[in-house]
Each structure stands twice: as C-alpha cells, then as structure tokens.
Amino acid sequence: MRRIRKDDLVQVVAGKDKGTPDSPKRGRVVKVLVERDKVLVEGVNYVKKHTRIEQSRGGGQDGGIIETEAPIHLSNVLPVCPSCDEATRVAFVYETEGDRRSKVRACKRCEATF
C-alpha cells in the first residue's frame, strides 16, 4: 500500500515550490511514478520545455516554449488530512468489518482514517 495515491491532496514541504508558511503550495496528485518514487502534482513544479516544430501530413505541431508540470520526489510532499486539513505523516492501521480485516491509511495527528 502506498502512502500517496492518485487524486490525493498533497502539500509541498521542500524544494522551490514549498511556498510560504502562511500559504503553502497544495495540489492534487495527477500521477504516481512508482518506479521513480515521484509524483506529478497539478499546479506545482512548472518547468519550461522548448519544443521543435514537427511536420507531418495531418498537420504539424507548433514549436515554442511550453510550460508543463514536472514530477516531484515523494519525500518532498506530504498528504493533507481531510479531517484536520493539515499536512501529516501517514500511519497504517487495520480496521475490522465483521470477519474481514483491511489495512487503511490514518493521520498521525488526529488518527482519522482516509
């Protein structure tokens, strides 16, 4: 089980997109790159890419400078707890439902599951 999943709200805690203490940068996880230990967060870590003009039969792609989101390392983001609305570390707890037991993520601060 992963600590950060797709569609989680995360807060950047290190790096150039950390933000200020009054307004930290937050965003939704678009994609998790498991093999590289990175995540793609919307609105965070914008980089400029220089692209060439491509010619093809059905119409080409324009060249120029494009701003896109780049992946950010997992250690630089923390998930935001939905109940206490703060960036928190993740604990794993087991919940029992009848005769079934399932592993879920929990907030280290308020101990709510998410």
pLDDT per position as a tens digit, 66-101: 999 999 999 999 999 999 999 999 999 999 999 999
Q: Per-residue pLDDT averaged across 31-36, rounded? A: 97
Structurally, how many domains does the chain consist of? Answer: 2
**Per DSSP, what are the bridge partners of residue 50?**
65
Confidence of residue 56 (pLDDT cuts 50, 70, 90): confident
**Measured distance between the N- and C-terminal CA atoms of the chain, rounded to whole angstroms:** 13
- pLDDT, average across residues 7-36: 95
Domain span holding position 87: 83-114
* Residues 101 and 74 placed together within one structural domain of the fold: no
Say if residue 34's pLDDT is above 70: yes
**Residue-level pLDDT at 59:** 67
Output the pLDDT for position 62: 80
Are 92 and 53 part of one and the same domain? no
